Amino acid sequence: MADYPYIVDNVIHPVGDDWDSTVRINDADGNPKNLTGWVFWVTITKDLSWDDDEAYVHKSFTPIYPLSGEVTLAISADQLMIPGRYYRGIKVKSASGTRTTLVSGVFDLVSVPTKAL
């Protein structure tokens, strides 16, 4: 269903960095999927038992250019400032109402020497 160039488990992200990535969704023939009316959610939490409203990040995204099959997912640095292991999930609701988990996994947020900015 998709090409996920950045969504992999066991990634290490530095504290204080903004993240963004463009995810491309393709149809069965490999062509860009029309994402008109689709909504994506990203949830990042430190505990899998937490509800969405307890998560550090729980936000939705809609494609800026839906005909290209691409959606840009962005997290600002100030949303995640505590080093440690985090759990990530990305879900989508299609225009027809079908809900699908695209990916779930873990990543580590690590301290870095530079605290400026």
Any domain includes 56: yes
Residue with tokens 């691409």: 70
Alpha-carbon gap, residue 103 to 99, rounded angstroms: 12
CATH of the domain at 96: 2.60.40.1930
CA–CA distance, 89 with 32 (Å, rounded to integer)? 22
pTM: 0.74
Number of domains within the chain? 1
- What are residue 25's phi and psi, to 5 degrees? -105, 125
Does residue 77 sit within a domain? yes
Q: According to the model, what pLDDT value does residue 12 have? A: 65
Q: What is the mean pLDDT of each run of 10 residues along the chain (117 residues)?
A: 40 74 84 92 90 90 90 82 86 91 83 65
CA 73 to chain centre: 5
* Contact predicate 20/116, CB 8 Å: no
State the residue range of the domain holding 28. 2-110
